[in-house]
Amino acid sequence: MENAPDQADSESPRKPARADEPLKKVTEKTTSFAQFSGIAFQMLATIGLGVWAGMKLDAWQQNQRPVWTIVLSLTAIGASLYLFIRQLTNR
């Protein structure tokens, strides 16, 4: 005797309809955390590279004022914010 598709088999336990929902929420949170921490490291690397390049250029040109450090660090901050916003809108 076969069971109809809508009848539950008494021998096999059925999962609740929302058993995987807490796991899905945890997975979404973990994925979101990983994505945002990756963006933070990307911003840190971009700004650090700009500051480092500016300091090297200032030392090479023997500037009295750190012109290249200021210019390249501000440019790196702008570029990292642009990339951050672009990545957020692509989600």
Tens of pLDDT, residue by residue over 27-71, are: 777 777 788 888 899 999 999 999 999 999 999 999 999 999 999
Would residue 3 count as lying in a domain?
Answer: no
Would residue 32 count as lying in a domain?
Answer: no
Using one digit for the tens of pLDDT, what is the confidence trace for 17-33? Answer: 555 666 677 677 777 77
Q: Are residues 80 and 43 in contact, defined by beta-carbon separation less than 8 angstroms?
A: yes
Would residue 75 count as lying in a domain?
Answer: yes
Residue 14: pLDDT band with limits 50, 70, 90: low
Q: What is the domain count for the chain?
A: 1
pTM reported for the whole predicted model: 0.66
Range of the domain at 62: 37-89
Q: Which residues of 33-58 are buried (b: 16+ CB within 10 A; e: fewer)?
A: eeeeeeeeeebeebbeebbebbeebb
Q: Are residues 68 and 57 in contact, defined by beta-carbon separation less than 8 angstroms?
A: yes
Would residue 15 count as lying in a domain?
Answer: no
